[in-house]
């Protein structure tokens, strides 16, 4: 018997699993139905048992609640009246005028009075416009109604066309509905007005009951002028206490209002009291307001007699800043800044880097290095930026950034200090060169702009140098003095040339950081510091006295939170910095650097090589690269081409799929080709496309996507050997560089004298 006859045949089947079987097993069981019913009843009873005490409690409290409702009604109506009066009498503007008179500011007073006049004019103009609109509408509607009535009387509905009869039906329906609504309207209007008045008059103080709730979701966060005045009255400042005792009322030039995650206000203090007297009693003020000292920020306003107060909502500052916005995607334009942290108001601060220099400091382990790393990471996502980093100690903190760093040295030995000084010297030379380049530009622009930075021929791209633990460099017995001088000159003059210095230190004393640096630095960042000397060393002199105090930050508890000046237009910011983890087993920095590398590979960019001429890297040329990897074979399978491209330039081609390849071929008019059922690319097609492209360039005079070399550039004898599309790494040979991991496979050196030397750029 043949085998096939022994095989069982299945004509119809169904895959059966537990779920399909279970419903068939569940038959109706009268007993279980009864049990379920009883359970439902008991569940209902549970519910009833829960609801009953609530209802009885409400019933007992009903008289009190009704009383409160009545009181709210009266108070709401009162509030409306007073608001109406304020509106009608321009009370706010009059108060401004009065405040200006008290402050002895005639200009402000005149402005307030002018505003009252112009407001009155605008208001009457508005009323006139509204009356005119109402009159016109009423006349049109009346004319229409009269016309319809006349027509109805003269012609009769029977003689009218269908659409006109429809119009009459509509009119009648609207009239009937209006008549019904009219009979209800007084009731509805009264009820609505009563409800609105109760709502308006509800208790707005914290802790109000079920009928009321404060404007904030968190009643703990409530801080108003009454509470602030009370807190100030109990600070133990004699003139302030006397002022309140005599029935004085403080003048709030900025009323207490929600500002991000807190409340902001400005108070004009009475005679004999300065803002500094209040900032000195910050802890008492915080306690009086029911806040931690860190959550209470009294500072001097525009004048010594004006107190600027910001009080954080309770507990909001203890939360971290969350993920760095660029952690998973996004690029940076350094001219717009780098997301750096959350301000006390809960908004993201875009830290400015262009035209600034930074000094970050604080006690050990509070987050300085992370700030430097975040700024460098952000800069790395601007493909035009060139980055250098010097770490004056043995630390792997910047290791994952290495592929994107053109210069990178780590260590405590003298060679690192020597290289850092050399780098500062190179930056000064570069500054001179940039000054000349700017001077040669049409219109002699005073500083580097995005447009100029984008032109790789000029070499005016942003150049960021970070020095971690910079006090080690500035205090170095041999190189310290020179480093100080160079850094000061750079900080003073380098900003407009797109040269940015980022410094971080544990020890911001006058011996470790030159005074000229702390004086001229534009962005100061202070994590928890020990005393007012360190505070003012980082943030600028007088900041401690003005109440801008990183001394309030607590070691460990406030790790990652810093006081920053110069990062926004505000006098200071309390910043919860973004943290990009680089810890044992959690490295979120490397993926960002991979993105940064891929981005940079797609842009022509310049490297600064000390006093030597600029080198310009060419962007990849996919057509030439395909030609290169075809290796003169007649045809090669598409998948093989993709693999070879990825090996040739992984940064650019590793993410490529057949679709990317197809797009390039389509762009050059190369049709899809098949051989033995496989998609292939033919060398002939690519050769033809390249020839066409060359002709097209000759015709238009266009030099193609590669930027022409710098006029100063020394031609490399073997430059033509460079694999097309790979990036040229021609940099000055200085001991400040170190070999890039994998540099030999990924970026073959095009110059024989580059072989074996330190790396400079990606």
Ligand X SMILES: Nc1ncnc2c1ncn2[C@@H]1O[C@H](COP(=O)(O)OP(=O)(O)OP(=O)(O)O)[C@@H](O)[C@H]1O
Binding site per annotation, positions for ATP: 362-369
For position 335 contacting ligand X by CB under 6 A, the verdict is no
For position 559 contacting ligand X by CB under 6 A, the verdict is yes
503/652 with CB nearer ligand X:
503
Buried b (16+ CB within 10 A) or exposed e, 211-226: ebebeeeeeebbbbbe
**Residue 518 Cβ, how far from ligand X at the closest point, in Å?**
18
The binding track of 243-282 with respect to ligand X, each residue x by CB under 6 A or -, is ----------------------------------------
**Residue 351 Cβ, how far from ligand X at the closest point, in Å?**
13
List the 635-637 sheet strands across, edge first. 635-637, 678-682, 673-675
318/683 with CB nearer ligand X:
318
Binding-site members are: 362-369
374/499 with CB nearer ligand X:
374
By CB atoms closer than 10 A (0-12, 13-18, 19+), residue 753 is: exposed
Q: Is 323 helix (H, G, I), strand (E, B) or coil?
A: coil
Task: Name the segment binding ligand X (CB under 6 A); options: 291-299, 322-330, 403-411, 576-584.
Answer: 576-584
Query: Which residues does residue 583 pair with via DSSP β-bridges, in sequence order?
Result: 586
Indicate the length of the chain as a whole number.
Answer: 762
Task: Name the segment binding ligand X (CB under 6 A); options: 51-59, 361-369, 587-595, 740-748.
Answer: 361-369
**Residue 221 Cβ, how far from ligand X at the closest point, in Å?**
23
**Residue 547 Cβ, how far from ligand X at the closest point, in Å?**
24
Task: Name the segment binding ligand X (CB under 6 A); options: 75-83, 273-281, 366-374, 455-463.
Answer: 366-374
For position 540 contacting ligand X by CB under 6 A, the verdict is no
Cβ neighbours of residue 550 closer than 8 Å, sequence gap 6 or more = 362, 526, 527, 528, 529, 534, 535, 538, 539, 562, 563
Cα separation, 644 vs 660, in Å, equals 14
322/735 with CB nearer ligand X:
322
Which residue in 266, 212, 232, 226 sits closest to 72, CA to CA?
A: 212
**Residue 561 Cβ, how far from ligand X at the closest point, in Å?**
8
Instruction: Point out the residue whose Cβ comes nearest to ligand X.
Output: 560
For residue 129, the tally of other CB atoms under 10 A from its CB is 10
**Residue 232 Cβ, how far from ligand X at the closest point, in Å?**
33
* Half-sphere exposure of residue 473: CA atoms within 13 angstroms, side-chain side: 32
363/605 with CB nearer ligand X:
363
CA-to-CA separations, 440 to 48, 430, 431, 436, 610, in angstroms, rounded: 87, 15, 14, 6, 20
Q: Is 459 helix (H, G, I), strand (E, B) or coil?
A: coil
For residue 20, the tally of other CB atoms under 10 A from its CB is 10
For position 343 contacting ligand X by CB under 6 A, the verdict is no
Q: 3-state DSSP helix/strand/coil percent for the chain, to nearest 5?
A: 50, 15, 35
440/584 with CB nearer ligand X:
584
Task: Name the segment binding ligand X (CB under 6 A); options: 97-105, 119-127, 359-367, 404-412.
Answer: 359-367
For position 364 contacting ligand X by CB under 6 A, the verdict is yes
Q: Is 218 helix (H, G, I), strand (E, B) or coil?
A: coil
The continuous run of DSSP H or E covering 682 comes out as strand 678-682
**Residue 328 Cβ, how far from ligand X at the closest point, in Å?**
18
For position 369 contacting ligand X by CB under 6 A, the verdict is yes
Cβ neighbours of residue 176 closer than 8 Å, sequence gap 6 or more = none
For position 398 contacting ligand X by CB under 6 A, the verdict is no
Cα separation, 331 vs 338, in Å, equals 10
398/497 with CB nearer ligand X:
398
398/653 with CB nearer ligand X:
398
Cβ neighbours of residue 624 closer than 8 Å, sequence gap 6 or more = 690, 724, 725
For position 365 contacting ligand X by CB under 6 A, the verdict is yes
For position 319 contacting ligand X by CB under 6 A, the verdict is no
491/504 with CB nearer ligand X:
504
Cβ neighbours of residue 761 closer than 8 Å, sequence gap 6 or more = 386, 406, 607, 617, 729, 731
For ligand X, the binding residue among 506, 512, 568, 729 (CB under 6 A) is: 506
**Residue 377 Cβ, how far from ligand X at the closest point, in Å?**
13
DSSP β-ladder status, 561-565 and 523-526: antiparallel
Q: Is 47 helix (H, G, I), strand (E, B) or coil?
A: helix
Cα separation, 487 vs 726, in Å, equals 35
285/372 with CB nearer ligand X:
372
For position 367 contacting ligand X by CB under 6 A, the verdict is yes
**Residue 260 Cβ, how far from ligand X at the closest point, in Å?**
18
Angle formed by the axes of helices 683-700 and 622-630, to 10°?
150
Task: Name the segment binding ligand X (CB under 6 A); options: 228-236, 515-523, 575-583, 736-744.
Answer: 575-583
Find where tokens 């210069």 sit: 407
Q: How many residues lie near ligand X (CB under 6 A)?
A: 15
301/560 with CB nearer ligand X:
560
For position 746 contacting ligand X by CB under 6 A, the verdict is no
For ligand X, the binding residue among 577, 638, 649, 737 (CB under 6 A) is: 577
555/751 with CB nearer ligand X:
555
Measured at the alpha carbon of residue 731, what is the angle toward residues 761 and 370, in degrees to the nearest 5? 35
Across 244-305, the runs of DSSP E, i.e. the strands, are 251-258, 262-268, 296-300
For position 579 contacting ligand X by CB under 6 A, the verdict is yes
DSSP code for 302: S
Cα separation, 758 vs 133, in Å, equals 79
For position 400 contacting ligand X by CB under 6 A, the verdict is no
Largest CA distance in the chain: 120
For position 357 contacting ligand X by CB under 6 A, the verdict is no
**Residue 494 Cβ, how far from ligand X at the closest point, in Å?**
24
Q: Is 444 helix (H, G, I), strand (E, B) or coil?
A: coil
Cα separation, 760 vs 348, in Å, equals 33
For position 300 contacting ligand X by CB under 6 A, the verdict is no
For position 383 contacting ligand X by CB under 6 A, the verdict is no
For position 560 contacting ligand X by CB under 6 A, the verdict is yes
For position 325 contacting ligand X by CB under 6 A, the verdict is no
Cβ neighbours of residue 376 closer than 8 Å, sequence gap 6 or more = 387, 389, 398, 401, 464, 466, 502
For position 370 contacting ligand X by CB under 6 A, the verdict is yes
For position 368 contacting ligand X by CB under 6 A, the verdict is yes
Task: Name the segment binding ligand X (CB under 6 A); options: 357-365, 416-424, 447-455, 515-523.
Answer: 357-365
For ligand X, the binding residue among 248, 315, 320, 325 (CB under 6 A) is: 320
Cα separation, 206 vs 703, in Å, equals 71
Q: Which of residues 84-113 bind ligand X (CB under 6 A)?
A: none
By CB atoms closer than 10 A (0-12, 13-18, 19+), residue 2 is: exposed
For position 366 contacting ligand X by CB under 6 A, the verdict is yes
**Residue 504 Cβ, how far from ligand X at the closest point, in Å?**
7
On whether the CB atoms of residues 664 and 623 are closer than 8 A, the answer is yes
Task: Name the segment binding ligand X (CB under 6 A); options: 193-201, 368-376, 419-427, 716-724.
Answer: 368-376
On whether the CB atoms of residues 361 and 411 are closer than 8 A, the answer is no
Q: Which of residues 204-233 bind ligand X (CB under 6 A)?
A: none
**Residue 376 Cβ, how far from ligand X at the closest point, in Å?**
12
291/368 with CB nearer ligand X:
368
320/707 with CB nearer ligand X:
320
Find where tokens 């140098």 sit: 465
401/749 with CB nearer ligand X:
401
* Residue numbers at the binding site for ligand X (CB under 6 A): 320, 362, 364-370, 506, 559-560, 577, 579, 583
């Amino acid at each position: 018997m043949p085998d096939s006859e022994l095989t069982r045949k299945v004509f119809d089947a169904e895959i059966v699993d537990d779920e399909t079987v279970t419903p068939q097993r569940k038959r109706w069981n009268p007993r279980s139905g009864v049990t379920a019913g009883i359970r439902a009843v008991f569940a209902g009873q549970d519910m009833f048992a829960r609801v009953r005490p609530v209802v009885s409690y409400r019933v007992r409290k009903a008289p009190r609640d009704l009383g409160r409702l009545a009181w709210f009604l009266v108070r709401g109506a009162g509030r409306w009246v007073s608001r109406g009066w304020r509106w009608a009498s321009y009370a706010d503007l009059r108060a401004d005028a009065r405040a200006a008179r008290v402050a002895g500011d005639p200009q402000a007073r005149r402005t307030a009075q002018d505003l009252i006049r112009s407001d009155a004019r605008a208001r009457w103009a508005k009323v006139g416009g509204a009356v005119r609109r109402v009159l016109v509408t009423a006349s049109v509607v009346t004319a229409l109604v009269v016309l319809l009535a006349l027509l109805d009387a003269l012609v009769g509905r029977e003689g009218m066309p269908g659409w006109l009869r429809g119009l009459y039906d509509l009119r009648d329906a609207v009239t009937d509905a209006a008549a019904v609504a009219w009979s209800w309207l007084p009731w509805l209007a009264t009820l609505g007005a009563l409800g609105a008045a109760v709502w308006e008059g509800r208790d707005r103080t914290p802790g109000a009951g079920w009928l009321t709730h404060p404007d904030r979701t968190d009643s703990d966060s409530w801080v108003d002028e009454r509470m602030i005045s009370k807190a100030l009255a109990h600070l133990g400042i004699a003139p302030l206490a006397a002022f309140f005792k005599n029935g004085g009322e403080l003048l709030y030039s900025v009323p207490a209002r929600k500002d991000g995650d807190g409340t902001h206000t400005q108070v004009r203090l009475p005679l004999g009291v300065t803002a500094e007297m209040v900032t000195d009693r910050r802890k008492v003020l915080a306690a009086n307001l029911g806040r931690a000292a860190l959550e209470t920020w009294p500072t001097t306003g525009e004048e010594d007699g004006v107190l600027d107060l910001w009080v954080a909502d309770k507990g909001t500052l203890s939360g971290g800043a969350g993920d760095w916005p660029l952690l998973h995607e996004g690029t940076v334009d350094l001219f717009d800044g780098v997301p750096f942290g959350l301000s006390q108001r809960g908004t993201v601060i875009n830290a400015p880097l262009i035209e600034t220099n930074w000094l970050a400091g604080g006690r050990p382990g509070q987050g300085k290095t992370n700030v430097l790393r975040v700024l460098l990471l952000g800069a790395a996502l601007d493909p035009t930026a060139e980055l250098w980093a010097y770490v004056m100690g043995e630390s792997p903190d910047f290791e994952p950034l290495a592929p994107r760093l053109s210069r990178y040295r780590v260590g405590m030995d003298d060679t690192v200090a020597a290289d850092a000084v050399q780098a500062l010297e190179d930056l000064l030379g570069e500054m001179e060169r940039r000054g000349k380049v700017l001077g040669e530009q049409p219109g002699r622009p005073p500083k580097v702009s995005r447009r100029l930075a984008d032109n790789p021929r000029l070499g005016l791209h942003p150049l960021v140098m970070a020095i971690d633990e910079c006090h080690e460099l500035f205090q170095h017995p041999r190189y310290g003095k020179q480093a100080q001088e160079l850094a000061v000159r750079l900080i003073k003059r380098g900003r407009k040339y797109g040269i940015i210095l980022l410094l971080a230190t544990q020890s911001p004393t006058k011996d470790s950081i030159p005074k000229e640096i702390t004086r001229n630095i534009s962005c100061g960042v202070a994590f928890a510091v020990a005393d007012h000397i360190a505070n003012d060393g980082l943030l600028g002199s007088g900041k401690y006295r003005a109440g801008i105090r990183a001394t309030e930050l607590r070691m460990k508890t406030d790790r990652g939170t810093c006081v920053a000046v110069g990062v926004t237009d505000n006098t200071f910011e309390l910043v919860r910095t973004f943290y990009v983890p680089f810890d044992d087993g959690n490295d979120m920095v490397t993926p960002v650097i991979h993105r940064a590398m891929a981005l940079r590979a797609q842009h022509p960019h310049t490297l600064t090589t000390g006093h030597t001429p600029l080198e310009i890297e060419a962007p990849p040329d996919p057509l030439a690269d395909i030609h290169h990897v075809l290796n003169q074979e007649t045809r090669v399978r598409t998948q093989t081409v993709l693999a070879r491209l990825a090996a040739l330039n992984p940064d650019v081609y590793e993410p490529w799929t057949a679709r990317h390849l197809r797009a390039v071929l389509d762009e050059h008019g190369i049709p899809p080709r098949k051989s033995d059922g496989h998609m292939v690319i033919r060398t002939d097609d690519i050769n033809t496309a390249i020839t066409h492209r060359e002709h097209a360039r000759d015709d238009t005079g266009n030099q193609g996507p590669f930027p022409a070399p710098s006029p100063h550039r020394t031609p490399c004898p073997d430059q033509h050997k460079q694999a097309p599309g790979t990036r040229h790494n021609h940099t000055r040979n200085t001991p400040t560089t170190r070999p890039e991991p994998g540099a030999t496979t990924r970026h073959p050196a095009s110059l024989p004298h580059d072989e074996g030397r330190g790396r400079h750029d990606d």
